[in-house]
Amino acid sequence: MSGFAFDLTATDGAARTGIISTPRGQIRTPAFMPVGTAATVKAMLPGSVRETGADILLGNTYHLMLRPGAERIARLGGLHRFMNWDGPILTDSGGFQVMSLAGLRKLTEAGVTFASHIDGSRHLLSPETSMEIQRLLGSDIVMAFDECPALPATEDAVAASMRLSMRWAQRSRDAFGDRPGHALFGIMQGGVSPDLRAESAAALTAIGFDGYAIGGLAVGEGQEAMLGVLDYAPGLLPQDKPRYLMGVGKPDDIVGAVQRGVDMMDCVLPSRSGRTGQAWTRRGQVNLRNARHADDPRPLDKDCGCPACRGYSRAYLHHVVRAGEMIAGMLLTWHNLHYYQQLMAGLRAAIAAGRLGDFADDFHALRAEGDIAPI
């Protein structure tokens, strides 16, 4: 693929750091991708998202195809121009959200027909339509169309679903074609079964993708089960391609995944939490709604460089959260995204310096101390 490349610059145990190069800019890995579901990272301007340190955003195919529609976005110059973000964009395939959000779904070998959760209109998502929609959006990193079994599921059901996803992966590859500067990632499935994960990895590698996602995790299986799969799953994938863990996660999930060889992650958590008065800090989670902050003149985190921490007290943040003011979601989303990107920068530097173990120990120790004592 001309114009899309991945260069590993250092490793520390299973962990890796490197650079993904795209025509729209570089992505430093391990990378955290803020989620811009409806062509916006809620409560943030694109320039603000960039200032937090994000190199790439995620867009949701399912939402964008229904509203405002992929053809309309294409007519208006593509998703980058439409939402005023000129960096790389990864779009998901729509497969996960059609199973979790849409009504009246019918799954066949061809794909999934469903009713829009917005207006009830009927649509088909298939490997071919997903590739076409992601092409219309102008996505830099396109995800293969896959199926996610609803959990809990028997091993037979997980196996059948994984094999369907592998047939769809081949159809996605065929439909994607040759698009220089754009990448197509395959998605490994197989639940918590090492044998099925290995079968899936072998099938994807035989097809050949520009990167590989680990799917079917962070769907309610719990951190222990997820990290158990990550103890072996990344090692089943090619060393020289990016590995993307979809939908993860909490800060300690991210550290655990990076230690096990994951290069890219995304999650709505930092932005969604910011709109409900929840902050993520080096000392863990802080609920600004709590009355203990009402008279506290100190910043949320005195060592954080974000606008919420530089310019405002905990008392102010508490007040605007309680009052339902829009600035509450703006400030806390900015802080949370800034914290996540600081965490990623710290992980990258620690891997490069060969001291990821010490970094992880310090990370867990400070969280174990908990938030600063009330005044």
What residue ranges bind Zn ion (CB under 5 A)?
304, 306, 308-309, 335
Cβ pair 149, 193 in contact under 8 A = no
What would you measure as the largest C-alpha separation in the chain, in angstroms?
A: 62
Does the annotation flag 117 for ligand binding? Answer: no
Tell me if residue 92 is catalytic. yes
Q: Which residue type is seen at 281?
A: T
Of 280 and 359, nearer to Zn ion (C-beta) is 280
Does the annotation flag 304 for ligand binding? Answer: yes
Cβ pair 185, 244 in contact under 8 A = yes
Of 241 and 314, nearer to Zn ion (C-beta) is 314
Q: Give the relative orientation of helices 251-259 and 223-230 as an angle to the nearest 10 degrees.
A: 20
Least distance from Zn ion to the Cβ atom of residue 297, Å: 16
Does the annotation flag 95 for ligand binding? Answer: yes
Tell me if residue 303 is catalytic. no
Least distance from Zn ion to the Cβ atom of residue 280, Å: 10
Catalytic residue (one of 210, 253, 263, 266):
266
Least distance from Zn ion to the Cβ atom of residue 343, Å: 12
Cβ pair 346, 359 in contact under 8 A = yes
Least distance from Zn ion to the Cβ atom of residue 43, Å: 15
Of 34 and 59, nearer to Zn ion (C-beta) is 34
Of 63 and 335, nearer to Zn ion (C-beta) is 335
- How far is Cα 102 from Cα 100, in angstroms, rounded to an integer? 6
Report cis status (omega within 30 of 0) of the bond before 152.
Answer: yes
Does the annotation flag 93 for ligand binding? Answer: yes
Strands of the sheet with 243-245, listed across from one edge = 31-33, 264-266, 243-245, 211-214, 183-188, 141-143, 89-91, 57-59
β-bridge partners, 7: 19
Cβ pair 287, 311 in contact under 8 A = no
Q: What is the DSSP letter of 325?
A: -
Catalytic residue (one of 92, 210, 296, 301):
92
Does the annotation flag 189 for ligand binding? Answer: yes
Annotation: binding site for substrate: 92-96, 146, 189, 216
Annotation: binding site: 92-96, 146, 189, 216, 304, 306, 309, 335
Annotation: binding site for Zn(2+): 304, 306, 309, 335
Active site residues: 92, 266
